[in-house]
Chain A
């Protein structure tokens, strides 16, 4: 009995050695490794299987790309925020809602023709890039600022900015703080691993203001400490400040300083090394811009299919093969607009005048209205 087991073990080792020997000579080519172990007798093949399996998985991922992986899985894994109302927020009923969430839905509509094929993965500021790098998520849409360092060293590719933001500072109205200079000697609450943490250090050093940073892991802890009076001020993106303020017990006791500390262009992020997937995410965003610019909304998208305007016809997949060039169905943009809406609809639904935030569009208007949203041509 035990001897048989031993012999099986022995066979296993020989097979494993074969795998290692091939791997040593021919560097990262897992498919070749697998091939090399196949010729030996049938008994060895079964024994070698456990060692082969892990080698095959990365090959499948590298060879076929994110789009194929996503399609095979049947859903997109979208890294999101769960603590910023209006952008990414876990609602009491367990569903996610917000501006960033709608872009996850738009991506799902583009790939699957349905906005619901998304698995939301809530991440805090510190977890997000590791989750993206390691392939735990397919796309990160979590109010993430585009910077040079992140674009290069973090191995991230930034899709077009969906929200132009700036860092602001919130203080108590009764504190008497009116400008940044009034914060001399103050304690300031900030979430770790954010660009705001760095901007704060930069700006305060430049102005010669001494302060004590009080750094917490999550936005909830940070605002909790601010509300308890641990800090004189709380800093994050202005949109985030407005959103958090709406959740405070007494929002009217707080105010946001006029000064803007930095530029914070927020948008979706994918990882380096998959251009096709990067293109899909980019053009998903552009489609929402273009739809607003051309006046296509979820209401009139079916009528617009009969439009004579070439741009609209190409956008909606009536003429040209725009979708196929991305590896998608030609109705990809039609699906986005029909099921999620154009940029204006997404914005108004989450942040517009009918919401508690009532954020003015400002820079986040189409270029035709003096804003910064500009889509390259669909042709």
Chain B
């Protein structure tokens, strides 16, 4: 019997042996996927070859020959395509970074407001969330661009705030400090004041830890910094002349000049992203807060903490653990959604990239670069958020 069984077992060919089959299936799938990829890539390369435009990144060194409306770095039509892409990348970073910061702030405020016992605040927050979460972002952006920012007063009828700020459909202009003669000296004073302020704050904090009575260490540091900065202003004024002056915007020729300006294109994409994403963040924050058990709040109240203290010291730190993972995906969404800037004319990476596709005819190459850049942004964001998540999660002993 036993010998028969053994020979039977040996007779089972490998394609009927489950142990081998499991491996074979996996190999099959991998081979199929790789073959499909090879076919697609080869198809692309031979296709481009046939058109006489083989894959090449040499075009990045050629003069771009077009102008870009707004740029954080020096850029002109004689700059290279690579630099044009860099302008786009920086513009994307600008709108994404500011967008994430402001969306978080608004989102937290609205999220807490939705839990308010005040009927009006509660309902307003609910309307904000439900309305904005349910309008497609592109529709909202085009509405902002064509119906809000382009419909602001024209340049010669600009709305003015006592000459300190102007609101027009060419942008928002605000007064802004500009470095002047004494700046070279003053910037070192300013740095020194900051460092001293920081040191004072750290000393006060350590003192608090040692004595168990925590002083307002951040206020200490700030006061020291401000006092030193003001004093050194006059020293710099005495040594090298006025360190900074206020640059007031004024109508020169056809446009405002001076001060700090924000274009309507930037305002449209920025406002759109912030408002849209903050509606989602508000829901995440609300869910996070509601996930903290009722006993925690009651315990905090029993200890005699005020409403604000309960929120800041007890509820929110615990809610954060629930909030962070879904928050990460909202940040990623915001960064990726910033590519909709093309619809409102803001020169972000995608808008500049598409112009290059057309002017240089390098569709595949530019799309590859753009995908690479967005992927890098997203991976860096999640890397940071994962690190932060680890940092704040419940420590179990």
Since A28-B46, A155-B52, A185-B257 are in contact, a sample of 10 more A-B pairs with Cβ atoms closer than 8 Å, ordered by chain A residue number, is A12-B32, A149-B359, A197-B66, A197-B359, A201-B65, A228-B151, A229-B155, A229-B169, A230-B169, A273-B52
The contact string, 1 if C-beta is below 8 Å from chain B, for chain A 1-33, is: 001001101101100110110010000100000
Bound complex: CA A184 to CA B252 (Å): 10
The verdict on B5 contacting chain A, using a C-beta distance below 8 Å, is no
The verdict on B379 contacting chain A, using a C-beta distance below 8 Å, is no
Bound complex: CA A216 to CA B342 (Å): 7
Partner of A225, one of B35, B39, B345: B345
Q: Which residues of B contact A300 (CB under 8 A)?
A: none
**Interface SS of B by simple majority:** helix
The verdict on B47 contacting chain A, using a C-beta distance below 8 Å, is yes
Whether A187 lies near B355 (C-beta < 8 A) is no
The verdict on B25 contacting chain A, using a C-beta distance below 8 Å, is yes
Whether A155 lies near B51 (C-beta < 8 A) is yes
Number of interface residues, chain A, beta carbon within 8 A: 60
* CB nearest to B360 among chain A residues: A153
Shortest C-beta distance, A170 to chain B (Å), equals: 15
Whether B347 lies near A215 (C-beta < 8 A) is yes
Q: Which of B67, B77, B342 has the most CB of A within 10 A?
A: B67
The verdict on B170 contacting chain A, using a C-beta distance below 8 Å, is yes
The verdict on B53 contacting chain A, using a C-beta distance below 8 Å, is yes
Q: Which residues of A contact B355 (CB under 8 A)?
A: 126, 192-193, 197, 215
Task: List the 8 closest pairs (A to B, CB-CB), nearest first.
Answer: A193-B358, A154-B361, A228-B150, A155-B51, A201-B77, A185-B253, A229-B154, A201-B67
Bound complex: CA A49 to CA B355 (Å): 41
Shortest C-beta distance, A32 to chain B (Å), equals: 14
Bound complex: CA A340 to CA B87 (Å): 48
Partner of A205, one of B15, B31, B77, B257: B77
Whether B68 lies near A213 (C-beta < 8 A) is yes
Residues of A within 8 A of B (CB): 3, 6-7, 9-10, 12-13, 16-17, 19-20, 23, 28, 51, 54-55, 58, 62, 125-126, 129-130, 133, 149-150, 153-155, 175, 183-187, 192-193, 197-198, 200-202, 204-205, 211-217, 221, 224-225, 228-230, 232, 271-273
Shortest C-beta distance, B148 to chain A (Å), equals: 11
Q: A153-B361, A155-B51 are in contact. Are A216 and B354 (CB under 8 A)?
A: no
Partner of B361, one of A3, A55, A129, A185: A129
Whether A212 lies near B361 (C-beta < 8 A) is no
Bound complex: CA A7 to CA B34 (Å): 20
Whether B146 lies near A224 (C-beta < 8 A) is yes
Bound complex: CA A149 to CA B35 (Å): 36
The contact string, 1 if C-beta is below 8 Å from chain A, for chain B 39-81, is: 1001100110011110000010000011111000000110000
* CB nearest to A152 among chain B residues: B52
Whether B77 lies near A215 (C-beta < 8 A) is no
Whether B354 lies near A186 (C-beta < 8 A) is no
Bound complex: CA A331 to CA B50 (Å): 33
The verdict on B313 contacting chain A, using a C-beta distance below 8 Å, is no
Partner of A9, one of B28, B76, B169: B28
* CB nearest to B149 among chain A residues: A230
